[in-house]
Amino acid sequence: MAHGLNFRPVEVIEMNKEIVIDEELIVEARKKAGNYYRSGYNCAEALFLTFREYVAPDLSEEMVKLVTPLGGGIGRSGCTCGALSGGVIILGALKGRTSSDQSRDEAYDFAGEFHNRFKKEFGSTCCRVLNKHEYHDPERGRTCLKIIGNSAAILMRLLQERGEIKAG
């Protein structure tokens, strides 16, 4: 996998702007998302609940029900991975607009970048391509757990790079 676990901040220099990536925060997000999944939440819910804590703590925890149908690639249809969808919903909570007068460019940019990194990491965004196991097969759960954890790592890294979450 592309995300190493070296547990020390890594400095990234971008256009004369220093960005510190906290690898421990990445590991923490990965673990939180995995723990939500292990406790019975689906892939989309796990990403939503994990990152709600980081970027939208004022958002009611009850809002998780909005992402419930996204699990299993949208209602078990095997389409867009729920981990990707749950992350995109969080990016909407962070950068979405509340009026048609506002620009949607920043939200689109964030979501597009998350999508591209996800696809680069996993080779696809399609649930049925990422996980070929049947829904009742325990191996499916293990595969989903890996995808969820790595999706959380991708999103945490992106949020840190964009300055939305500061290294602690």
pLDDT per position as a tens digit, 47-75: 999 999 999 999 998 999 999 999 999 99
The domain of 51 spans: 10-161
User: Among all chains, which residue has been given the structure tokens 């939503």?
Assistant: 48
Q: 67 in a domain, yes or no? A: yes
User: How many domains does the chain contain in total?
Assistant: 1
Q: 3 in a domain, yes or no? A: no
Q: 94 in a domain, yes or no? A: yes
Q: 1 in a domain, yes or no? A: no
Q: 157 in a domain, yes or no? A: yes
Q: 125 in a domain, yes or no? A: yes
- Closest by CA position to 155, among listed 56, 78, 71: 56
pTM: 0.88
Q: 79 in a domain, yes or no? A: yes
User: pLDDT class for 135, splitting at 50, 70, 90?
Assistant: confident
Query: Given CA atoms 106, 108, 114, 116 in this order, what sign does their dihedral have?
Result: negative
- Which range (86-90, 108-112, 131-135, 146-150) has the least confidence? 131-135
- Closest by CA position to 38, among listed 149, 168, 155: 149
- Closest by CA position to 23, among listed 5, 41, 43, 48: 5
Q: 166 in a domain, yes or no? A: no
